[in-house]
Amino acid sequence: MLDACSTAGSAKANPFDTARRQLDAAAEIIGLDAEVLELLRWPMREMHVTIPVKMDDGSVRAFHGFRVQYNDARGPNKGGIRFHPDETIDTVRALAAWMTWKTAVLDIPLGGAKGGVICNPKAMSPGELERLSRSYIRQAGRLLGLTKDVPAPDVYTNPQIMAWMADEYSFMQGHNDFGVITGKPLALGGSAGRGDATARGGIICIREAARMLGIDLLGKPAAINGYGNAGAFAHKLAVELLGMKVVAVSDSKGGIINPDGLEHTALTEYKKRTGSVAGFPGSTPITDAELLELDVTVLIPAALEDEISCRNARNIRARIVAELANGPTAPEADKVLQERGIYLIADLLCNAGGVTVSYFEMVQNASGWYWEEEAVHRQLEKKMTAAIRTVHQTAGQYGVDNRTAAMIVAIRRVAEAMKLRGWV
């Protein structure tokens, strides 16, 4: 009998095509009005910019960047800024769409946006990165503001880059306006608890999924594909909060495995010193393809898009797949995982801890009242727990996979806001 992947190709999917296919599938199930669907299939606005940057050798190089504001029916746009050599406008469009659904599924009053610059930050000096960051804000700043669109860190950007951007925007406004950016350092109005928020939200989802499935996570193995901020914190919190054993991790330069478990502090210090997890003492090498197919209780894709597809979906052996990355699973692979009884926690929900605490940061910036870290964790716990239970219930109600259930929850909320505002 043919499965969901039998007629699909093996080439990597266009991420914006994937995002719209996910939208179309959920819209068909709930009978969404055609005019609403057509509006939701496209960004409301987008900006393409050319960014001149003076390099350390005295030359001037032109970089190309984007800012996509997908839908702001529920509130100001929200979404990160990525620096990546393979950035494309369709990737940014897809990520802006997913951010729209993400804020809606968490029921926070924001829309969705995303920005990106085509560059290789690993090959740039701190001075070059600062000049690029400031120049990007000079170009895109007219679209930004606490009531319009608030960026945050994303792939290969960090709190220091956010600080430069907030400073440049403040200079453009003629007064301090640090609320235009979240994920900032604490000294510039950042929020306690923002650093590990994406991972912490994902770990809460894993815990709740395991409870609903009757899985005991204590001492069970986990593997993490991607060891940036989210992946590294997921390693730490999976051990501390769930009592799991992380046996394999990978980054852009290689992967490692140790069946007895990898010690988080030693590994993060090793990566900081060498630039990669590869070669960590006491481990053996493993490829990304091998890591994804390990026999583990929890698999955490925390890298880039399209890691799980028709190439490997039949070989995934994890009980739970928790998407800390954006778009790591192709639509056909979703169906295969569901058919095989693998519980997938979709990115729209699993990695939404970051945008949720960014929203808390916006609230704190607007009020001038800053919360203790315990309060941030407590509010994040409430939001993530309520969201995964709603998605789980919706999946059961409609007999669909969890991603489609999350989409149903999200698009209903966005569509309701659009109708109330008279857009359709």
Binding-site members for NAD(+) are 198, 229
**Catalytic hit among 114, 245, 271, 383:** 114
Judge contact between 377 and 200, C-beta under 8 A: yes
Judge contact between 202 and 231, C-beta under 8 A: no
- Residues contributing to the annotated binding site: 78, 102, 198, 229, 358
What is the dihedral sign for C-alpha 337, 342, 343, 347?
A: negative
Compute CA distances 259 → 267, 277, 299, whole Å.
Answer: 15, 16, 15
Q: By 3-state DSSP, what share of the chain in percent is helix, strand and coil, each rounded to 5?
A: 50, 15, 35
Q: How far apart are the first and last CA of the chain?
A: 43
CA Rg value for the chain: 21
Q: State phi, psi for 162 to the nearest 5 degrees.
A: -65, -35
Judge contact between 70 and 143, C-beta under 8 A: no
Q: What is the DSSP string of 203-257?
A: HHHHHHHHHHHT---TT-EEEEE--SHHHHHHHHHHHHHH--EEEEEEETTEEEE
Q: How many residues does the chain have?
A: 424
Please choose, from the candidates 30, 46, 163, the residue with its C-alpha nearest in 3D space to the C-alpha of residue 112.
46
Please choose, from the candidates 387, 362, 355, the residue with its C-alpha nearest in 3D space to the C-alpha of residue 113.
355
- The answer for residues whose C-beta is within 8 angstroms of residue 261's C-beta and 6 or more apart is 245, 246, 247
What is the dihedral sign for C-alpha 291, 295, 296, 300?
A: positive
114 carries an active-site annotation = yes
Q: Please, what is the angle between helix 353-367 and helix 373-398, to 10°?
A: 130
> Hey, which residues are catalytic here?
114
